[in-house]
Structure 1
Amino acid sequence: MTTNTNLNKFDSKLVMAHMHVAFVSLFIGGLMGLLQTLVRAGTFTLPFGIGYYQILTVHGVILALVLTTFFIIGFQFSLMSKTVGMTDKQRDSAWFGFWIMLFGTVTTAVTILLGQANVLYTFYAPLKAFPTFYIGLALVVIGSWIGCFTNFRQLYVWKKKNKGEKSPLLAFMVVINMLLWFIATLGVAATVILQFIPWSLGMVDTINVLLSRTLFWYFGHPLVYFWLLPAYMAWYAIIPKIIGGKIFSDSLARLAFILFLMFSIPVGFHHQLTEPGIDPLWKFIQVVLTFMVIIPSLLTAFSMFATFEITGRKKGYTGLFGWLKGLPWKDVRFFAPMVGMIFFIPAGTGGIINASNQMNQVVHNTIWVTGHFHLTVGTTVILTFFGISYWLIPSLTGRKLTSKINTLGIIQTIVWTVGMTIMSGSMHIAGLLGAPRRSSYSTYGGTEQASEWISYQIAQAVGGSILFIGIILMVYIFIYMVWAAPKGVEEFPLAKVSENAEPTPMFLENWKLWIGITIALILFAYTIPVIDIIQHSPPGSPPFDIIIK
């Protein structure tokens, strides 16, 4: 890994452009989330004829797709620039992808805000949006593909110059995540371009609903790992440096990412366990593949706590848990991601429940699922992203992370923790009582069941209000770090591998092998079910039934 402290000004400007979009999205999406909780509790009526599903769609699309994609791609460009470098041509292609993504985002956002796309972020048919919603989403995906191939090219050029050497760990991780993203987004691109856009333009009268949902969830579950893997990058290769330690095992980290690549894509049917038209055998197979993803998650937990304990022991802390005292709890760069890691324990447990056929029947389509979603991306991922921001933004802007902002960041993390515990906890409980997801108070208010749910809906509004305070704090911190913090040099922390770690075997970088296995698993899990869906689709469900015939 290179030893320079900061990126050059051109790469910094590229990364910061992505960060600006991400934090604007955080504020807009967070405001929509606050309004949702207030409406759902029956304590607020939306003004100016704004509909509940309008703000629900904005909230989902802006936070789950726009914020995450821009932050991740920007963060990953910083890692690639730091470890393998970036040429002028690569930087130009990265900017090209950024502008396409931004144009697509604005196109989609305007369509939603005009009330022409109240279809939620899953945009399930038969809900139909104005064509510019789907066109905008397609452009976001296409722009991200340009980012993918830019990253691939960066590592390829580095490997040509450094033949026989293992690639830098973070560059390897970035390429794995972008491979996952590219393969996964082929599904959503197919359904948007070949199904939704022709349908919304009136070129065809019908749409194969089951096929569209299958193609969406082919993308929808690996999307979760596209969010998580950048957090894992920080956990594996940056947090050890912040705590004064070293990476426990380079080869274990690479193996975990390879397993995520292979087992995070062919698992979408576990989101469709209650849908007819899919053979139960294939649902069972994909549930089994889903549980395979637990293995790299446990590997990561083992690696991280091994790093924490070894570092604490080296600092002289003794006893069974004495090493915990050696962790820098007052450093927000560690504290925020660490809280995210802790939240991943209940989040992962909820994921196991969601993916289990029998237990899924209890919580399917209830607000439990929404609560789980907010524990994973809304807490584990976003708190790690906040933790990254505390050192990344100053290092890019040539400013310092001051003690006051560090303290405010710790307060922000605590506020977020309290708000999410209240909101997500009440969502989980209300879900067990049968409260539906994607629904407003006006949908079920006055029913007998609503009286059981209302106290939990009010708790969600309280938690959501606290979370919005956390968002305001984070946006203020971002603005301060960009424009008002004292000038200086902030470390771009990259950890070294422990000298006690076993050498990394070169077969872990056999890209043909791992990509080949990934494609084989996808073909195994999806080929027969998709052919079956198309062959048994209703008459006149274009265009895939025409292709198959």
Structure 2
Amino acid sequence: MKISQLDARLSLVHFYVAFGSILFAGLLGLVQTLVRSELITLPSWLNYYQILTGHGVIMALVFTTYFIFGFFYASVAKSAGEFTNKQRKAGWVGFWLLTIGLILAAVMIALNEATVLYTFYAPLQASPFFYIALALIIIGTYFGAYAVISRYRLWKKEHPGEKTPLLAYMAVATLVLWLIATIGVVAAVLFQFLPWAFGWTDTINVALTRTLFWYFGHPLVYFWLLPAYMAWYVMVPKIIGGKIFSDQLARFSFVLFILFSIPVGFHHQLLESGISEGWKFFQVILTFAVILPSLMTAFALFSTFEIAGRQKGGKGLFGWFKKLPWGDVRFLAPFLGMLIFIPAGAGGIINASHQLNQIVHNTVWVTGHFHITVGGTVAVTFFGISYWIIPHLKGRILTKKMNKIGIYQTVLWAVGMGIMSSAMHISGLLGNPRRTQMTSYNGHEVASSWGAYEMAHAVGGSLLVISLVLFVIVLINLAYFAPKGNEEFPIAEELNPTQQTPNWLENWKLWIGIVFALIFIAYTLPIIDIINNSPPGSSGFKYW
């Protein structure tokens, strides 16, 4: 099924913003590393924390959101059919709301009116227009979600009794997670931050805002990761000449991610007062439960690799490994993303542990963890997707030359991220503080203490920017200069196509009901306690 030009255009415009934004975010990140290593000094008109805020907002919200929706539009159009005019119009409304919100947020950050980091914790206060920008971005995603989900529902109506396309199912599952997760941040912005920023209220409940943010902030990680899982489950098997190990397992793993990734925000607040240890421990248990679908995914993927490798003549215990297409960037980049996710997942277990979290809390270990998650696993997998999806949508082909440059770019990114994140993790274990300019900390000069680590950080960041420049050059070639042709949109077949997928896996009322039940159990009493036991004042914490 060929993607229509109208749907391709909607997808491509999201990719263009995503790629431009990640290049800019990379430059901001490089400046941060150079400042922390004291290789440069910022001019008086530029605030270090402006750069930190811009880098975090772009990487966590802008690059990921635009790429994911561009990927979803293309995947659903390919697997479930062309969007209707109404659905496509909703997608465009979503794009423009996202873009207006992006521009407004960028202006506020540039004017130093929103230097509050991407977490925008109270009592840090931004201009009300920054919070309006965040609201526009969230609302824009709702229009995009409507387009994708309504196309999925229309396919089910047109094909009664048939199994829905796996790609469309995964996109809908990811958006279900997103829609439920954003309830927290929407509530915080509309009912706490905006009235406070406009001066309608004098106080704000800090503990409640942080709780609502992390109700959203943790599933945000899985909003980044699940599109990468889509590529791993569906596209990578086709690229290596294999098949999907199990359609049922893939769908069930996405359901489990929805169940276990939302009601667990307290594991980001283990060292905060105002939340009882019992509720923290309960959410830590739910956090560890998400390991199950991750292990299911690892089992399915490496089973696919082994079967495909042995069918190509691989012998012995690891002979199949040599038969994988290591010279194909469409495989190499997602595979490196899978490998990077191993230390990323291990670091997540440490972050969510009661005792171990106390060692790494508010150190650059946490920064390193985020970098190998969104900057490593997610970004490098998205690179791999880009190398085939851009030429496919533009009617061009991935040439051998661009594939070779893509391999260099991918390896350079992995090496740069490895150097930088390793320095962050190691120095974080030794106490290197997070979110500082490194000039002083608690009255002590700290740049000299962490000089070698910060220099490694700067070296890794420099390699990442070089990789990004290569990436953008290749994409421009693939979009406008590569030979015209038909690049494959890789969708693998099932290993056992006759195997029936249970209807209960698509019973969204059931799964959404269970999620809300878990949320009710995990959050109702703690939030009541937070509200009832806030410091004096109508809304809690007074901002000075």
Which of 504, 512, 516 is matched with 1:515 structurally?
512
Structure 2 residue aligned with 1:483: 480
Which of 198, 207, 218 is matched with 1:201 structurally?
198
Cα offset, 1:450, TM superposition: 4.3
Structure 2 residue aligned with 1:51: 47
**Residue 194 of structure 2 is aligned to residue 214 of structure 1:** no
Structure 2 residue aligned with 1:163: 160
Q: What secondary structure is seen at the aligned counterpart in 1 of 2:440?
A: helix
Structure 2 residue aligned with 1:385: 382
Partners of 2:498 and 2:271 lie apart in 1 by: 46
Of the structure 1 ranges 529-538 and 12-21, higher mean CA displacement relative to structure 2 is found in 529-538
**Residue 286 of structure 2 is aligned to residue 289 of structure 1:** yes
- Can you list the C-alpha shifts for 1:409-435, whole angstroms capped at 9, x where unaligned? 000011111111110000001101111
**Residue 146 of structure 2 is aligned to residue 149 of structure 1:** yes
Structure 2 residue aligned with 1:9: 5
Q: What secondary structure is seen at the aligned counterpart in 1 of 2:426?
A: helix
Partners of 1:502 and 1:47 lie apart in 2 by: 64
Structure 2 residue aligned with 1:172: 169
Structure 1 residue aligned with 2:28: 32
Structure 2 residue aligned with 1:80: 76
Of the structure 1 ranges 446-455 and 328-337, higher mean CA displacement relative to structure 2 is found in 446-455
Q: Kindly indicate whether the alpha-carbon contact (under 8 Å) linking 1:433 and 1:453 is maintained by their aligned counterparts in 2.
A: no
**Residue 373 of structure 2 is aligned to residue 376 of structure 1:** yes
CA 1:20–1:448: 2 relative to 1, 3 Å:
closer
Cα offset, 1:484, TM superposition: 1.4
* TM-score normalised by L of structure 1: 0.97
Cα offset, 1:447, TM superposition: 2.5
Partners of 1:109 and 1:372 lie apart in 2 by: 25
Structure 1 residue aligned with 2:19: 23
Amino acid at match of 2:5: K
Structure 1 residue aligned with 2:468: 471
Q: What secondary structure is seen at the aligned counterpart in 1 of 2:204?
A: coil
Structure 2 residue aligned with 1:104: 101
For residues 320-359 of structure 1, what are the structure 2 equivalents within 5 Å? 320-359=317-356
Which of 62, 66, 71 is matched with 1:66 structurally?
62
**Residue 222 of structure 2 is aligned to residue 225 of structure 1:** yes
Across the aligned residues of Structure 1 and Structure 2, the Cα RMSD in angstroms comes to: 1.4
Moved over 4 A (4+): none
Cα offset, 1:452, TM superposition: 2.8
Listed as ranges, the gaps of 5+ residues in structure 2 are none
- Can you list the C-alpha shifts for 1:129-180, whole angstroms capped at 9, x where unaligned? 1111110011000000111122221111111111111211111100000000
How many residue pairs are counted as aligned between the two chains?
A: 540
Structure 2 residue aligned with 1:547: none
Q: What secondary structure is seen at the aligned counterpart in 2 of 1:317?
A: coil
Cα offset, 1:445, TM superposition: 10
Cα offset, 1:541, TM superposition: 3.9
Partners of 2:77 and 2:222 lie apart in 1 by: 23
Amino acid at match of 2:7: D
- Can you list the C-alpha shifts for 1:251-308, whole angstroms capped at 9, x where unaligned? 0000100000000000000000000000110000000000000000000000000000
- Can you list the C-alpha shifts for 1:218-266, whole angstroms capped at 9, x where unaligned? 0000000000000000000110000001000000000100000000000
Partners of 1:300 and 1:541 lie apart in 2 by: 48
Cα offset, 1:499, TM superposition: 2.6
Structure 1 residue aligned with 2:127: 130
Cα offset, 1:516, TM superposition: 0.9
Which of 343, 362, 366 is matched with 2:363 structurally?
366
Partners of 1:324 and 1:164 lie apart in 2 by: 39
Amino acid at match of 1:22: A
Partners of 1:502 and 1:341 lie apart in 2 by: 27
Q: Kindly indicate whether the alpha-carbon contact (under 8 Å) linking 2:114 and 2:130 is maintained by their aligned counterparts in 1.
A: yes
Partners of 2:44 and 2:402 lie apart in 1 by: 38
Cα offset, 1:448, TM superposition: 5.8
Partners of 2:487 and 2:464 lie apart in 1 by: 28
Structure 2 residue aligned with 1:251: 248
Cα offset, 1:501, TM superposition: 7.3
Q: Kindly indicate whether the alpha-carbon contact (under 8 Å) linking 2:329 and 2:384 is maintained by their aligned counterparts in 1.
A: yes
Amino acid at match of 2:154: V
Partners of 2:269 and 2:55 lie apart in 1 by: 23
Cα offset, 1:444, TM superposition: 3.3
Q: Kindly indicate whether the alpha-carbon contact (under 8 Å) linking 2:38 and 2:447 is maintained by their aligned counterparts in 1.
A: no
Partners of 1:443 and 1:131 lie apart in 2 by: 31
For residues 398-417 of structure 1, what are the structure 2 equivalents within 5 Å? 398-417=395-414
Q: Kindly indicate whether the alpha-carbon contact (under 8 Å) linking 1:336 and 1:386 is maintained by their aligned counterparts in 2.
A: yes
Cα offset, 1:46, TM superposition: 1.4
Structure 1 residue aligned with 2:262: 265
Q: Kindly indicate whether the alpha-carbon contact (under 8 Å) linking 1:309 and 1:323 is maintained by their aligned counterparts in 2.
A: yes
Cα offset, 1:523, TM superposition: 0.8
Partners of 1:439 and 1:541 lie apart in 2 by: 33
Q: Kindly indicate whether the alpha-carbon contact (under 8 Å) linking 1:249 and 1:501 is maintained by their aligned counterparts in 2.
A: no
Amino acid at match of 1:216: F
Listed as ranges, the gaps of 5+ residues in structure 1 are 545-549
Q: Kindly indicate whether the alpha-carbon contact (under 8 Å) linking 2:37 and 2:447 is maintained by their aligned counterparts in 1.
A: no
Q: What secondary structure is seen at the aligned counterpart in 1 of 2:366?
A: helix
Structure 2 residue aligned with 1:395: 392
Identical amino acids, percent of aligned pairs? 61
Partners of 2:127 and 2:329 lie apart in 1 by: 43
Q: Kindly indicate whether the alpha-carbon contact (under 8 Å) linking 1:416 and 1:466 is maintained by their aligned counterparts in 2.
A: yes
Partners of 2:383 and 2:445 lie apart in 1 by: 42
- Can you list the C-alpha shifts for 1:62-114, whole angstroms capped at 9, x where unaligned? 11110000000110111111111211110011101110111001100111011
Which of 96, 111, 114 is matched with 2:111 structurally?
114
Q: Kindly indicate whether the alpha-carbon contact (under 8 Å) linking 1:195 and 1:543 is maintained by their aligned counterparts in 2.
A: no
Q: Kindly indicate whether the alpha-carbon contact (under 8 Å) linking 1:240 and 1:307 is maintained by their aligned counterparts in 2.
A: yes
Q: Kindly indicate whether the alpha-carbon contact (under 8 Å) linking 2:87 and 2:146 is maintained by their aligned counterparts in 1.
A: no
Partners of 1:346 and 1:250 lie apart in 2 by: 27
